[in-house]
């Protein structure tokens, strides 16, 4: 058992089941000019601030042999997994599937859809490609977690109130114990980030816990991964 000092109260990591770090959508489409985030009118530079903190978390989890799972939001080149409603939403000048400066907007395999180089996954690490906001919708994430006996998820990435919160709520409803890392998640709207953190931990942690990266890393010092938990 390891204890992470968190809000609304301590988050306990068992040694009998596994934990994973889940980094949501740190892809060029959301962090660099010319991608989907910018096409929707957002100031994408705000999201860059969390990159060093995410790198610290990624390195620490790798060092402990705890699975680091990343997600990317993207659609098949034929857009067969993109509801027309999603494509039309926002009435942006560049829509999903249109050619942009980093290739086709929010399409799998395009340069803009790749994870930023600072957080590049290792070949043996899992990247879940998701067509929706939540990482459980139309993906094999739940199968993967169940197969590897993972019950606890440490969540981070972007954007806090959209894909991160949706994933955390999906996970919570499926029985996962989730903690959101406060300084390793960001939004284009600072007030939405703060509201999400407050929502998550309200009512005794109705969606889960929040803690800083330092608190997570301090708690992990006393934790040892169960030997059977590795995700490839
Ligand atoms: C958005 C995401 N904001 N990753 N996606 O459309 O949060």
Q: What is the pLDDT of residues 5-59, one digit of tens each?
A: 999 999 999 877 799 999 999 999 999 998 899 988 999 999 999 999 999 999 9
Between 126 and 2, whose confidence is greater? 126
| Contact (CB, 8 A) for 128 and 27 | no
Is the beta carbon of 188 within 6 A of some atom in ligand 1? no
Res 75 pLDDT > 80? yes
Q: Whose CA is nearest to atom 4 of ligand 1?
A: 163
> How many alpha carbons lie under 13 Å from residue 186 in its C-beta half-sphere?
20
What is the 228 CA–ligand 1 centroid distance (Å)? 33
> Hey, which residues does 19 pair with through a beta bridge?
152
The span from the CA of 162 to the CA of 136, in Å, is 14
pLDDT at residue 16, rounded to an integer: 76
Positions annotated as catalytic residues are: 25, 130, 163
Q: Is 185 in the pocket of ligand 1 (CB under 6 A)?
A: no
């Amino acid at each position: 058992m390891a204890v992470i000092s968190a809000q609304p109260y301590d988050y306990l990591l068992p040694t009998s089941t596994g934990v994973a770090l889940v980094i949501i959508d740190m892809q060029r489409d959301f962090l660099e000019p010319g991608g989907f985030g910018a096409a929707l009118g957002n100031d994408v530079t705000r999201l860059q601030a969390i990159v060093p903190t995410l790198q610290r978390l990624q390195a620490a989890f790798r060092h402990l042999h705890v699975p680091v799972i990343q997600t990317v939001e993207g659609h098949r080149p034929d857009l067969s997994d993109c509801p027309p409603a999603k494509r039309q939403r926002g009435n942006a000048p560049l829509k999903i599937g249109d050619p942009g400066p980093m290739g086709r907007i929010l399409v799998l395999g395009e340069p803009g859809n790749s994870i930023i180089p600072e957080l590049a996954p290792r070949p043996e690490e899992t990247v879940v490609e998701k067509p929706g906001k939540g990482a459980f919708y139309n993906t094999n994430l739940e199968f993967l977690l169940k197969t590897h006996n993972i019950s606890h998820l440490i969540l981070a990435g972007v954007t806090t109130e959209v894909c991160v919160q949706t994933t955390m709520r999906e996970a919570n409803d499926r029985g996962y114990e989730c903690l959101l890392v406060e300084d390793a998640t960001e939004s284009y709207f600072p007030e939405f980030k703060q509201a999400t953190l407050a929502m998550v931990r309200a009512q005794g942690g109705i969606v889960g816990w929040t803690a800083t990266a330092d608190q997570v890393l301090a708690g992990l010092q006393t934790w040892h991964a169960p030997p059977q938990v590795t995700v490839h």
